[in-house]
Amino acid sequence: MLTIETIDINGAQSLLTLSNNLKLNKILPNKVTIWKFRNSNPLRKSYINNKISIEAFDALIKLAVEMSKALYPYIREILQSRDDFDNNPYAWNDFKKRFIELTYERLNINSMRVKKIIDPNVNDNILVQNLLTLALCSSDKGFKKLRTYLLNF
């Protein structure tokens, strides 16, 4: 979700609107509920040890997949910018800068996993992997692909 929020500046509002459009109101009725589920991630500063139901897990995956479909042109532009960095570094640099800012703001930077994310020697690979995962799940079978990937992570 952090990668999606990096690309879409109004990510929280977009997630709520999309949740309503997908008729996920019973599981994700408001921003607070979405925020609480996101805080079940142990890497977050405001980590809450909650068990997420399989319905909530699936709803969050549906949101991520649909957001990745909507953001696919931007995802592609960012990846192209990284591949052609000498001629067009702007999209990649902007994405990377915002991702690092959000990481410092929202994640526990004392965690070894988060330290890898903010380490400039390794974070390019992590960011590219995140973007490619989102790009690949923007297909028709994106829900199944992302769900399988996350369950095996």
Q: What is the pLDDT of residues 105-121, one digit of tens each?
A: 999 999 998 998 899 88
- pLDDT digits over 74-89, tens only? 999 999 999 998 898 9
End-to-end CA distance of the chain: 15
93's CB contacts (< 8 A; 6+ apart) are 81
Q: How many whole angstroms separate alpha carbon 100 and alpha carbon 96?
A: 6
Sign of CA dihedral 117, 43, 129, 38: negative
Q: Where are the domains of the chain?
A: 2-151
The structure's pTM equals 0.87
Decide: 108 and 114 in contact? Cβ < 8 Å: yes
